[in-house]
Structure 1
């Protein structure tokens, strides 16, 4: 028989763990956005070695499991003398992984901009970096917002993997209390509901951003 009354006294701890989950997700998406912008610029570079490096980054990160990447960062780096705290390692692994996906999202956004805009700007004597920064990239970012939003939601859910490197986020906290009270269904359902609440709030915020951008575009 299910007894959710067992969960009540642990709600403050689960909420605190949810805050940590949000912190990991926000920092990871910020890192992912930064890396995504850098990688897409490298990908579009006419200098072949830089373009090839960006292609390799995207190919390798998208083609391997996030869990393997997380373990490489947390358990692998100490082997070469680089030791990271579990929280830092989680943010780094999630951010590096997100960077590959965001780079491809942004590349698609950039390629969706009509080439005539680039040609018109060049005819006015504007340099390539200026054209990208002031004309092409702002439009590409606007087009890419929905896909970046989806990646952010995925990242929030994937943050549960941080529990495997001892980060006391929502999943690990739920698992610990579930094992202590032998109430696995109750605590896991509660954790699922908290994740659902967080992703719903994030989705609502992203829809607001999309709406404002669509208004400003018109």
Structure 2
């Protein structure tokens, strides 16, 4: 047992290799936070577009044009395209095609944008489902009382929708955190990449991977526990 502890010390402490883990941890958490914020902004915008009643040709004699909602159509195409392709493919396209001319583009920024774009599609569907799952009579009653659509959404619909969608959003952000493990494809030094670096220096593959897996487990556990407290607080309001 003592010999194995000495081996662990040599793997992680020797040569200050624990710094690779810390670097990977900060990178993964930073990318997750950046992409989560971007994903929420995109998701809210796309959800509003999806449920909007924007029909610029409603006075047209052609029924097809009369029912055309370009904002909703754009949102549907976006979510179907993003949800229908793997995140790693989107990351590689963004890094090697779209941002190919920006050679000094940091891997952190590229990964954050890629995961934010990916997360936005899922957040959009979560928010849309939460809003459309509410009783439509509430909006009709609010409008009948003279409340503008935006005020009714802000004061009545959205607060109730948040309570319903919070568990799904928590699952999405946990998935987002774990998805950062693929940024090594574009040169980002995340937790998984840091484990590979330690393995290449020590020729020990199991211990670095177990350490990274344990870190992911701890982070998701802390986040899940925190969000459960938030969810409980919202239900008690």
TM-score of the superposed pair, with normalisation by structure 1: 0.93
Partner SS, residue 183 of structure 1: coil
Confirm or deny: 8 A CA contact 2:11 2:202 kept in the other structure. Answer: no
Match among 70, 74, 84 for residue 63 of structure 1: 84
Match among 183, 194, 198 for residue 219 of structure 2: 198
Q: Which has the larger radius of gyration?
A: 2
Partner SS, residue 168 of structure 1: coil
Kindly state the Cα deviation for residue 82 of structure 1 after the two structures are TM-superposed.
5.2
Match among 114, 120, 129 for residue 99 of structure 1: 120
Q: Which residue of 1 aligns with 2:30?
A: 23
Partner SS, residue 167 of structure 1: coil
CA distance in 2 between partners of 1:29 and 1:207 (Å): 18
Match among 42, 45, 57 for residue 49 of structure 2: 42
Distance 1:8 1:37, change over 3 A: same
CA distance in 2 between partners of 1:167 and 1:82 (Å): 16
Q: Which residue of 1 aligns with 2:233?
A: 212
Kindly state the Cα deviation for residue 189 of structure 1 after the two structures are TM-superposed.
1.0
Q: Which runs of 4+ in 1 moved over 6 A?
A: none
How many residues align? The count is 215
Runs (5+) with no aligned partner, structure 1: none
Partner SS, residue 189 of structure 2: coil
Kindly state the Cα deviation for residue 12 of structure 1 after the two structures are TM-superposed.
3.7
Q: Which residue of 2 aligns with 1:32?
A: 39
Kindly state the Cα deviation for residue 163 of structure 1 after the two structures are TM-superposed.
1.7
Runs (5+) with no aligned partner, structure 2: 55-68
Match among 2, 5, 9 for residue 9 of structure 2: 5
Partner SS, residue 113 of structure 1: coil
CA distance in 1 between partners of 2:188 and 2:53 (Å): 41
Match among 74, 82, 94 for residue 73 of structure 1: 94
Kindly state the Cα deviation for residue 167 of structure 1 after the two structures are TM-superposed.
1.2
Distance 1:55 1:82, change over 3 A: farther
Cα offsets for 1:32-90 (capped at 9, x unmatched): 111110000000112211100000011001000000000111111134x4553211010
Q: Which residue of 2 aligns with 1:130?
A: 151
CA distance in 2 between partners of 1:116 and 1:182 (Å): 64
Q: Which residue of 1 aligns with 2:60?
A: none
Q: Which residue of 1 aligns with 2:64?
A: none
Answer yes or no: is 1:169 the counterpart of 2:173: no
